[in-house]
Structure 1
Protein backbone atom coordinates (compact mmCIF):
# COMPACT_ATOMS: atom_id res chain seq x y z
CA UNK A 1 0.00 0.00 0.00
CA UNK A 2 1.45 3.38 -0.92
CA UNK A 3 1.70 6.03 1.77
CA UNK A 4 -0.80 8.25 -0.05
CA UNK A 5 -4.29 9.43 0.90
CA UNK A 6 -6.38 11.87 -1.10
CA UNK A 7 -7.92 14.58 1.08
CA UNK A 8 -11.27 14.15 -0.72
CA UNK A 9 -11.45 10.52 0.49
CA UNK A 10 -11.10 11.36 4.20
CA UNK A 11 -14.08 11.29 6.54
CA UNK A 12 -13.72 12.98 9.92
CA UNK A 13 -15.33 11.46 13.00
CA UNK A 14 -16.38 12.65 16.45
CA UNK A 15 -13.63 12.73 19.06
CA UNK A 16 -13.44 9.62 21.25
CA UNK A 17 -15.00 9.58 24.75
CA UNK A 18 -12.83 11.46 27.21
CA UNK A 19 -11.61 13.81 24.46
CA UNK A 20 -15.01 15.02 23.22
CA UNK A 21 -16.43 18.17 24.86
CA UNK A 22 -19.24 17.56 27.33
CA UNK A 23 -21.89 19.71 28.99
CA UNK A 24 -21.26 23.46 28.90
CA UNK A 25 -18.01 23.07 26.91
CA UNK A 26 -20.06 22.00 23.87
CA UNK A 27 -20.96 25.69 23.48
CA UNK A 28 -17.30 26.60 22.84
CA UNK A 29 -15.78 23.48 21.26
CA UNK A 30 -16.97 21.42 18.34
CA UNK A 31 -14.81 19.49 15.93
CA UNK A 32 -14.50 16.20 14.12
CA UNK A 33 -11.14 14.63 13.24
CA UNK A 34 -9.46 11.95 11.16
CA UNK A 35 -6.14 10.63 12.48
CA UNK A 36 -4.11 10.00 9.34
CA UNK A 37 -0.65 9.09 10.64
CA UNK A 38 -1.30 5.35 11.11
CA UNK A 39 -3.05 5.10 7.71
CA UNK A 40 -0.07 6.76 6.05
CA UNK A 41 2.50 4.62 7.86
CA UNK A 42 3.98 7.66 9.64
CA UNK A 43 6.48 6.93 12.41
CA UNK A 44 7.74 10.27 13.77
CA UNK A 45 5.05 12.74 12.71
CA UNK A 46 1.35 12.89 13.54
CA UNK A 47 -1.16 13.97 10.93
CA UNK A 48 -4.84 14.75 11.29
CA UNK A 49 -7.60 16.42 9.37
CA UNK A 50 -9.77 18.57 11.63
CA UNK A 51 -13.12 20.14 10.82
CA UNK A 52 -14.35 22.85 13.23
CA UNK A 53 -17.97 23.98 13.46
CA UNK A 54 -18.84 27.63 12.87
CA UNK A 55 -18.33 29.75 16.00
CA UNK A 56 -16.28 27.08 17.79
CA UNK A 57 -12.75 25.86 18.40
CA UNK A 58 -11.38 22.31 18.32
CA UNK A 59 -9.31 22.66 21.50
CA UNK A 60 -8.67 25.07 24.38
CA UNK A 61 -5.87 27.65 24.11
CA UNK A 62 -2.70 25.67 24.87
CA UNK A 63 1.03 25.31 24.38
CA UNK A 64 3.27 22.27 24.03
CA UNK A 65 6.58 22.14 25.89
CA UNK A 66 7.93 19.30 23.72
CA UNK A 67 6.15 18.99 20.36
CA UNK A 68 5.87 21.38 17.45
CA UNK A 69 2.72 21.74 15.36
CA UNK A 70 1.92 23.08 11.91
CA UNK A 71 -1.55 23.84 10.54
CA UNK A 72 -2.51 24.24 6.88
CA UNK A 73 -5.94 25.83 6.38
CA UNK A 74 -7.74 23.89 3.63
CA UNK A 75 -11.13 25.59 3.75
CA UNK A 76 -12.86 28.37 5.66
CA UNK A 77 -11.79 31.32 7.75
CA UNK A 78 -11.20 32.12 11.35
CA UNK A 79 -8.81 33.51 13.91
CA UNK A 80 -5.71 31.99 15.42
CA UNK A 81 -4.59 33.03 18.88
CA UNK A 82 -0.78 32.99 18.99
CA UNK A 83 0.65 34.05 22.32
CA UNK A 84 -1.00 37.35 23.27
CA UNK A 85 -2.09 38.17 19.71
CA UNK A 86 -4.97 37.21 17.40
CA UNK A 87 -4.57 36.91 13.63
CA UNK A 88 -7.18 36.35 10.90
CA UNK A 89 -6.71 33.10 8.94
CA UNK A 90 -8.16 31.83 5.66
CA UNK A 91 -7.84 29.08 3.07
CA UNK A 92 -4.20 28.57 2.09
CA UNK A 93 -2.63 29.90 5.31
CA UNK A 94 0.13 27.90 7.03
CA UNK A 95 0.58 28.37 10.78
CA UNK A 96 3.70 27.31 12.72
CA UNK A 97 3.44 26.60 16.45
CA UNK A 98 6.87 25.78 17.89
CA UNK A 99 7.29 24.17 21.29
CA UNK A 100 7.58 26.57 24.21
CA UNK A 101 5.74 28.27 27.04
CA UNK A 102 2.66 30.52 27.12
CA UNK A 103 4.24 32.81 24.53
CA UNK A 104 3.72 29.96 22.00
CA UNK A 105 0.18 29.07 23.13
CA UNK A 106 -2.26 28.72 20.27
CA UNK A 107 -5.90 28.11 19.41
CA UNK A 108 -7.77 28.10 16.10
CA UNK A 109 -11.31 29.52 16.22
CA UNK A 110 -13.80 29.28 13.37
CA UNK A 111 -15.30 32.76 12.93
CA UNK A 112 -16.80 31.98 9.52
CA UNK A 113 -20.31 30.89 8.58
CA UNK A 114 -19.26 27.42 7.35
CA UNK A 115 -16.89 24.71 8.52
CA UNK A 116 -13.18 25.41 8.93
CA UNK A 117 -11.00 22.50 7.79
CA UNK A 118 -7.29 22.19 8.39
CA UNK A 119 -4.50 19.66 8.16
CA UNK A 120 -2.43 19.44 11.35
CA UNK A 121 1.08 17.99 11.38
CA UNK A 122 3.11 17.56 14.56
CA UNK A 123 6.14 15.87 15.97
CA UNK A 124 5.32 12.87 18.20
CA UNK A 125 7.86 13.13 20.99
CA UNK A 126 6.88 11.58 24.30
CA UNK A 127 6.39 12.39 27.10
CA UNK A 128 4.62 15.66 26.36
CA UNK A 129 3.66 18.50 28.70
CA UNK A 130 0.85 20.79 27.56
CA UNK A 131 -0.22 23.92 29.42
CA UNK A 132 -3.57 25.72 29.21
CA UNK A 133 -3.05 29.41 30.14
CA UNK A 134 -6.77 30.31 30.21
CA UNK A 135 -7.61 27.71 32.88
CA UNK A 136 -4.28 27.22 34.66
CA UNK A 137 -4.34 23.50 33.85
CA UNK A 138 -1.58 21.27 32.54
CA UNK A 139 -1.58 17.85 30.94
CA UNK A 140 1.12 15.20 30.89
CA UNK A 141 0.91 12.45 28.29
CA UNK A 142 3.28 9.58 27.64
CA UNK A 143 2.88 6.88 25.00
CA UNK A 144 4.82 3.66 25.48
CA UNK A 145 4.72 -0.09 24.88
CA UNK A 146 3.18 -2.13 27.68
CA UNK A 147 4.55 -5.45 28.97
CA UNK A 148 2.57 -7.26 26.24
CA UNK A 149 4.03 -4.97 23.54
CA UNK A 150 0.73 -3.20 22.92
CA UNK A 151 0.69 0.61 22.90
CA UNK A 152 -0.43 2.27 26.13
CA UNK A 153 -1.04 5.90 27.07
CA UNK A 154 -0.56 7.67 30.41
CA UNK A 155 -2.54 10.92 30.64
CA UNK A 156 -2.91 13.19 33.66
CA UNK A 157 -4.60 16.61 33.66
CA UNK A 158 -4.37 18.79 36.74
CA UNK A 159 -3.47 22.15 38.24
CA UNK A 160 -0.22 23.10 39.93
CA UNK A 161 -1.93 23.74 43.26
CA UNK A 162 -3.08 20.09 43.28
CA UNK A 163 0.54 18.96 43.47
CA UNK A 164 1.40 16.34 46.14
CA UNK A 165 4.65 16.42 48.10
CA UNK A 166 7.29 14.12 46.62
CA UNK A 167 7.34 11.72 49.61
CA UNK A 168 3.56 11.29 49.96
Structure 2
Protein backbone atom coordinates (compact mmCIF):
# COMPACT_ATOMS: atom_id res chain seq x y z
CA UNK A 1 0.00 0.00 0.00
CA UNK A 2 1.22 3.50 -0.81
CA UNK A 3 2.57 5.49 2.07
CA UNK A 4 0.03 7.97 3.42
CA UNK A 5 -2.93 6.54 1.47
CA UNK A 6 -6.13 6.10 3.45
CA UNK A 7 -9.01 4.18 1.79
CA UNK A 8 -11.62 6.10 3.79
CA UNK A 9 -12.72 9.66 3.13
CA UNK A 10 -15.08 11.90 5.10
CA UNK A 11 -17.31 14.21 3.06
CA UNK A 12 -16.49 17.02 5.50
CA UNK A 13 -12.77 16.68 4.78
CA UNK A 14 -13.07 17.04 1.00
CA UNK A 15 -11.88 20.27 -0.61
CA UNK A 16 -14.82 21.72 -2.53
CA UNK A 17 -14.02 23.57 -5.74
CA UNK A 18 -16.63 26.23 -6.60
CA UNK A 19 -17.82 26.65 -10.19
CA UNK A 20 -20.30 29.00 -11.85
CA UNK A 21 -21.26 29.79 -15.43
CA UNK A 22 -23.87 32.36 -16.40
CA UNK A 23 -27.17 32.69 -14.56
CA UNK A 24 -28.15 29.01 -14.44
CA UNK A 25 -25.09 26.96 -13.46
CA UNK A 26 -23.20 26.81 -10.17
CA UNK A 27 -21.86 24.09 -7.89
CA UNK A 28 -19.09 23.22 -5.51
CA UNK A 29 -17.63 19.79 -6.20
CA UNK A 30 -15.04 17.44 -4.76
CA UNK A 31 -13.52 14.37 -6.36
CA UNK A 32 -14.25 11.34 -4.22
CA UNK A 33 -12.71 8.96 -6.78
CA UNK A 34 -9.48 10.92 -6.80
CA UNK A 35 -9.29 10.94 -3.00
CA UNK A 36 -9.78 7.16 -2.95
CA UNK A 37 -7.52 6.55 -5.99
CA UNK A 38 -10.28 4.81 -7.92
CA UNK A 39 -9.57 4.50 -11.64
CA UNK A 40 -12.62 2.65 -13.04
CA UNK A 41 -15.35 4.22 -10.89
CA UNK A 42 -16.11 7.93 -10.94
CA UNK A 43 -17.57 9.65 -7.89
CA UNK A 44 -17.96 13.30 -6.95
CA UNK A 45 -19.62 15.05 -4.04
CA UNK A 46 -21.66 18.03 -5.29
CA UNK A 47 -23.36 20.99 -3.63
CA UNK A 48 -25.71 23.04 -5.81
CA UNK A 49 -27.32 26.30 -4.61
CA UNK A 50 -31.07 26.97 -5.04
CA UNK A 51 -32.12 27.75 -8.60
CA UNK A 52 -28.95 26.32 -10.17
CA UNK A 53 -27.76 23.15 -11.91
CA UNK A 54 -24.24 21.73 -12.03
CA UNK A 55 -24.29 20.99 -15.77
CA UNK A 56 -26.51 21.24 -18.87
CA UNK A 57 -28.95 18.62 -20.17
CA UNK A 58 -26.68 15.86 -21.53
CA UNK A 59 -26.22 12.15 -22.14
CA UNK A 60 -23.07 10.02 -22.12
CA UNK A 61 -22.63 7.46 -24.86
CA UNK A 62 -20.12 5.32 -22.93
CA UNK A 63 -20.52 5.98 -19.19
CA UNK A 64 -23.51 5.26 -16.95
CA UNK A 65 -24.28 7.71 -14.14
CA UNK A 66 -26.15 7.52 -10.85
CA UNK A 67 -26.98 10.29 -8.39
CA UNK A 68 -27.70 9.78 -4.69
CA UNK A 69 -29.54 12.74 -3.17
CA UNK A 70 -28.18 13.36 0.33
CA UNK A 71 -29.91 16.65 1.23
CA UNK A 72 -32.29 19.08 -0.40
CA UNK A 73 -34.68 18.74 -3.30
CA UNK A 74 -34.82 19.39 -6.99
CA UNK A 75 -36.13 18.45 -10.39
CA UNK A 76 -34.59 15.66 -12.43
CA UNK A 77 -35.18 16.17 -16.14
CA UNK A 78 -34.80 12.81 -17.85
CA UNK A 79 -35.62 12.62 -21.53
CA UNK A 80 -39.04 14.24 -22.00
CA UNK A 81 -40.09 13.83 -18.33
CA UNK A 82 -39.40 15.79 -15.15
CA UNK A 83 -39.31 14.16 -11.70
CA UNK A 84 -39.43 15.80 -8.28
CA UNK A 85 -36.54 14.40 -6.23
CA UNK A 86 -35.46 14.73 -2.60
CA UNK A 87 -33.07 13.34 0.00
CA UNK A 88 -33.01 9.55 -0.12
CA UNK A 89 -33.74 9.30 -3.85
CA UNK A 90 -31.36 7.51 -6.22
CA UNK A 91 -31.42 8.63 -9.87
CA UNK A 92 -30.25 6.61 -12.84
CA UNK A 93 -28.79 7.94 -16.08
CA UNK A 94 -27.94 5.03 -18.40
CA UNK A 95 -25.63 5.64 -21.31
CA UNK A 96 -27.33 5.96 -24.67
CA UNK A 97 -28.96 8.54 -26.91
CA UNK A 98 -31.11 11.64 -26.31
CA UNK A 99 -33.92 9.61 -24.66
CA UNK A 100 -31.50 9.17 -21.71
CA UNK A 101 -30.37 12.79 -21.51
CA UNK A 102 -30.61 14.24 -18.02
CA UNK A 103 -30.18 17.34 -15.89
CA UNK A 104 -30.54 17.79 -12.12
CA UNK A 105 -31.65 21.27 -11.00
CA UNK A 106 -32.02 22.52 -7.44
CA UNK A 107 -35.61 23.79 -7.31
CA UNK A 108 -35.68 23.81 -3.49
CA UNK A 109 -34.89 26.52 -0.94
CA UNK A 110 -31.71 24.95 0.46
CA UNK A 111 -28.47 23.61 -0.95
CA UNK A 112 -28.87 20.37 -2.91
CA UNK A 113 -26.18 17.87 -1.87
CA UNK A 114 -25.59 14.64 -3.77
CA UNK A 115 -23.09 12.02 -4.83
CA UNK A 116 -22.59 11.67 -8.57
CA UNK A 117 -21.32 8.17 -9.36
CA UNK A 118 -20.37 6.85 -12.79
CA UNK A 119 -18.60 4.13 -14.66
CA UNK A 120 -15.30 5.54 -15.87
CA UNK A 121 -13.86 4.94 -19.30
CA UNK A 122 -10.71 6.20 -20.96
CA UNK A 123 -12.86 7.71 -23.75
CA UNK A 124 -16.41 9.08 -23.75
CA UNK A 125 -18.78 10.93 -26.04
CA UNK A 126 -21.26 13.28 -24.42
CA UNK A 127 -24.22 14.74 -26.33
CA UNK A 128 -26.11 17.96 -25.45
CA UNK A 129 -29.55 17.70 -27.13
CA UNK A 130 -30.72 21.24 -26.26
CA UNK A 131 -27.77 22.94 -27.97
CA UNK A 132 -26.92 20.32 -30.61
CA UNK A 133 -23.35 20.04 -29.27
CA UNK A 134 -21.23 17.01 -28.51
CA UNK A 135 -18.04 16.43 -26.54
CA UNK A 136 -15.43 13.79 -27.30
CA UNK A 137 -12.86 13.31 -24.54
CA UNK A 138 -10.21 10.84 -23.47
CA UNK A 139 -8.27 10.53 -20.23
CA UNK A 140 -4.68 9.52 -19.61
CA UNK A 141 -4.50 5.89 -18.53
CA UNK A 142 -4.94 5.61 -14.78
CA UNK A 143 -5.17 9.38 -14.60
CA UNK A 144 -7.97 11.84 -14.06
CA UNK A 145 -6.97 14.70 -16.36
CA UNK A 146 -8.11 14.71 -19.96
CA UNK A 147 -5.55 14.24 -22.72
CA UNK A 148 -7.90 15.06 -25.60
CA UNK A 149 -11.12 17.05 -25.73
CA UNK A 150 -13.20 18.38 -28.60
CA UNK A 151 -16.55 20.15 -28.47
CA UNK A 152 -18.45 20.58 -31.72
CA UNK A 153 -21.86 20.46 -33.37
CA UNK A 154 -23.20 17.78 -35.67
CA UNK A 155 -23.89 20.49 -38.25
CA UNK A 156 -20.13 21.17 -38.43
CA UNK A 157 -19.38 17.59 -39.41
CA UNK A 158 -17.02 16.65 -42.19
CA UNK A 159 -17.08 13.95 -44.83
CA UNK A 160 -14.97 10.95 -43.81
CA UNK A 161 -12.75 11.32 -46.89
CA UNK A 162 -12.23 15.11 -46.71
CA UNK A 163 -8.52 15.93 -46.86
CA UNK A 164 -7.53 12.30 -47.41
CA UNK A 165 -6.20 12.65 -50.98
CA UNK A 166 -2.59 12.06 -49.90
CA UNK A 167 -0.78 9.03 -51.38
CA UNK A 168 1.43 8.68 -48.25
Q: Same fold (TM over 0.5)?
A: yes
Deviations 1:24-44 (A, max 9, x none): xx2111111101112112121
Q: Deviating runs (4+, > 4 A) in structure 1?
A: 149-152
Q: How does 1:45-124 map to 2 (within 5 A)?
A: 45-124=41-120
Quick check: which has more Rg, 1 or 2? 2
Give aligned pairs, total.
157
**Which residue of 135, 146, 157 maps to 2:151?**
157
* Structure 2, unpaired ranges of 5+: 164-168
Q: Show the counterpart of 2:166.
A: none
**Aligned-pair Cα RMSD in Å:** 1.8
Deviations 1:123-154 (A, max 9, x none): 11131011011111111011135xxx996521
* Structure 1, unpaired ranges of 5+: none
| TM-score normalised by the chain length of structure 2 | 0.87
Q: How far did residue 11 of structure 1 move?
A: 3.5
